[in-house]
Structure 1
Amino acid sequence: MPKSIEEILGRGPVQKERPIPGTLLGEADMVRYVSFYSKELPAKIFRNVTRKVNPPLVTGGGVVLEGCIITLPDTTSMYPLIFHGDVAGWQRQIEEGAHALGLGIVDKA
Structure 2
Amino acid sequence: MNNREIPGKIIVENREVKYISDDGSNNFVNNKNGLFDLITSQFEIAKYGGIISENCKLTLPNGELFHSLSYKGDIEGWREEINLGAEKLKLITGKVINDKIELSDGRNFKLSDCKIEFY
Structure 2 match to 1:42: 28
**Structure 2 unaligned blocks of 5 or more:** 102-119
Instruction: Supply the distance in 2 between the matched residues of 1:46 and 1:79 (Cα, whole angstroms).
Output: 9
SS of the residue 1:90 aligns to: helix
Structure with the bigger percentage of strand: 2
TM score, norm. by length of structure 1: 0.78
Structure 2 match to 1:80: 68
Q: Which has the higher contact order (CA 8 A, sep 6+)?
A: 1
The counterpart of 2:7, out of the listed 1, 18, 21, is: 21
* Offset, 1:32: 0.6
TM score, norm. by length of structure 2: 0.72
Q: For each residue in 1:46-67, what CA deviation from the matched residue of structure 2 results, as whole angstroms up to 9, or x when unmatched?
A: 00001112xx110000000111
Q: For each residue in 1:1-59, what CA deviation from the matched residue of structure 2 results, as whole angstroms up to 9, or x when unmatched?
A: xxxxxxxxxxxxxx8310000000346x6011000011111110000001112xx1100
Share of identical aligned residues, percent?
Answer: 29
**Structure 1 unaligned blocks of 5 or more:** 1-14
Q: For each residue in 1:44-101, what CA deviation from the matched residue of structure 2 results, as whole angstroms up to 9, or x when unmatched?
A: 0000001112xx1100000001111000001110001110000011111111101100
Instruction: Supply the distance in 1 between the matched residues of 2:11 and 2:93 (Cα, whole angstroms).
Output: 21
Instruction: Supply the distance in 1 between the matched residues of 2:10 and 2:27 (Cα, whole angstroms).
Output: 26
Structure 2 match to 1:94: 82
Instruction: Supply the distance in 2 between the matched residues of 1:49 and 1:78 (Cα, whole angstroms).
Output: 13
- Count the aligned residue pairs: 93
